[in-house]
A and B are shown apart, each in its own frame.
Chain A
């Protein structure tokens, strides 16, 4: 059977597909690729099913060895990449011959790179998904050197596209569209304007669960405790410090701090590519 052997992982590498929707009532979140559009693109380039699993690589550093001839693709944050020592490009099907090593450097912009393989990563699904939920501790183990990832059977359809022209994730300031959240009335009248007025910096305390942001403090008018309520990805939850956290794919199913705003769904993949040190400018969408 064909497989990928993990040699090095970089800061974090996990198996991800499109997640496990519909199970929040069990306390199980959706999880899945943080930048789902990039995972989908990789699968499309290889003519895999849309929900085939790939590897989500955070800030490069992955090295894998092929067992069997494989066709792979790299999407999302563009890393310098080599196959058997020769440079290969992103957003394109790449042959990874039996025994060859694929090595990724650190991306110049963006944070999360997807390595997809024709046939998909075929580890055992957990509750219907091959995604690793780092908060819930569900799904495949976080990848480590020595991890052996079986590759599924190739789909019948042949790849037809050599290169997908997609822009790289931006450096510098990133704009995300936001709408007023369910608890906007727990904050002062100025709080939402302040959220959208000046940029927020993404701090190091950021992972698949959420991104802690630093900027103008968002003041509340109601100080009582909020009974826990259902949360959505994109929610800007504001603890008493006034500094918001932007929830990503592994966010908790319920949370106990008020949500001032919610980033629109189509911008969540872009949010997942913003790295610590970059700034986010929230723009109100009406």
Chain B
């Protein structure tokens, strides 16, 4: 675990893998170091933000004294997301992975995914699966317009675009229900720690 400076109101904790991010995040959420106001997990890091004016040295010491909890996930519940697998890049992902279109659908629906972190846009969850069959690169040429609900793959992640935006993920389908709805509390379905099953809707 490396503790990197991030201005006068933040520390960036770097670990070696996403698995370690989840372990460290679970430990920080359970027992936040004194003064920490915000915990932002990402792919290889957890950002800890404090109120401006807080002395960062004791926060850093508390971070170093934290024992990550391997295998731990903040218990955020389970959801099922109904998907129509009709994405524009489905055939290409089938080729890239060698699984074929039906194989991609099968691989996507047969594993449990966990929301590792949110970013990019409100309610955009980065989900990791249980194996690497669906690891594909981002599109070389990002789309300027990806519709809300589009289901994509990029690197080790899958995710659903909460609203229309530009985007470079390989699109394999679309979710039938919104993953971001301000009338709900919280408005995001896919928050860090939530476990997700994708179900094929025909």
Contacts and interface: CB of A to CB of B under 8 A. Distances in A.
Given A25-B118, A25-B192, A179 B5 contact: yes
A265 interface: yes
Interface stretch (B7-15, B61-69, B100-108): B7-15
Chain B interface residue bracket vs A: 35 or more
Given A127-B182, A234-B7, A25 B49 contact: no
B163 interface: yes
Interface string B29-62: 0000000011111111111010010000000000
A137 interface: yes
B122 A136 contact: yes
Interface in A115-165: 126-127, 136-138
Interface string B173-192: 00000000010001110011
Contact of A228 (B10, B43, B186): B43
Contacts of A265: 7-9, 52
Interface string A250-265: 0011100001001111
B121 A228 contact: no
Contacts of A126: 182
B121 A27 contact: yes
A253 B118 contact: yes
A47 B21 CA distance: 45
A232 interface: yes
A221 interface: no
A227 interface: yes
B6 A262 contact: yes
Contact of A254 (B5, B14, B40): B40
Nearest to B74: A25
Contact of B40 (A24, A137, A138): A24
A230 B124 contact: no
A119 to B, nearest CB: 25
A253 B4 contact: no
Contact of A229 (B38, B44, B187): B44
A229 B43 contact: yes
A235 interface: yes
B43 A21 contact: no
B7 A26 contact: no
Nearest to B41: A25
B187 A127 contact: yes
Interface in A231-280: 231-232, 234-235, 252-254, 259, 262-266
B152 interface: no
A230 B42 contact: yes
B123 A229 contact: no
Contacts of A264: 7-8
A181 interface: yes
B85 interface: no
B166 interface: no
A82 B187 CA distance: 42
A229 B47 contact: yes
Nearest to B123: A27
Given A26-B186, A27-B123, A228 B42 contact: yes
Given A182-B14, A235-B7, A252-B119, 11 more contacts: A22-B38, A27-B188, A179-B7, A179-B8, A181-B5, A227-B44, A229-B12, A230-B40, A230-B47, A230-B119, A235-B6
Task: Please give me the 4 A-B residue pairs with the lowest Cβ-Cβ distance, nearest first.
Answer: A230-B47, A262-B7, A254-B119, A27-B118
19 contacts: A24-B39, A25-B38, A25-B191, A26-B118, A26-B186, A26-B187, A137-B122, A182-B5, A229-B45, A229-B47, A230-B49, A230-B119, A231-B47, A235-B6, A253-B40, A259-B6, A262-B7, A263-B7, A265-B7
